[in-house]
Structure 1
């Protein structure tokens, strides 16, 4: 049985590439997808120019489907791990 009381606390997530990310980590964009998905309750697709290559953000959560919620200066967006790297 899974204990859901501490569901929101910081937890590391290990990806296929053996890179570890945690909520609160700083990351840098290394490539842009064709469209960027917003992290709103009702996600929308935005053009990729809302974020720039090299822009840094903070991981705010992990989403289903291999997406990470990352807060940038122009909003919070969902990206797959292939589009960013850790700054540490």
Structure 2
């Protein structure tokens, strides 16, 4: 099951896909070295197929929810 994120929320990259797709009207595949693990971005939209548009420093990219985690809420271990 894919995770859900609110538009405008901050997310962190936790894993790199082999390639990333730009979130432009005419998307392009880019090597994954344009973004780095731990880099934070902002959710700009939800796309079909379970992809999220994320704005990072070096551009906006489409990522599956398995590669990102929310930074807006504390980790579950700190809820006790």
TM-score band by shorter chain is 0.7 to 0.9
2:48 alignment counterpart = 64
Rg (Cα) greater in structure = 1
Q: Which runs of 4+ in 1 moved over 2 A?
A: none
Distance across 1 between alignment mates of 2:70 and 2:46: 15
CA RMSD of aligned residues (A): 0.9
Of structures 1 and 2, the one with the larger relative CO (CA 8 A, separation 6+) is 2
Structure 1 unmatched runs, 5+: 1-15
1:22-69: per-residue Cα shift (whole Å, max 9, x none)? 000100000000000000101000000000000000000000111000
2:66 alignment counterpart = 82
What is the aligned residue count? 72
Higher normalized helix content (fraction of residues): 2
TM-score (norm 1): 0.78
Q: Tell me the SS of whatever aligns to 1:70.
A: strand
TM-score (norm 2): 0.86
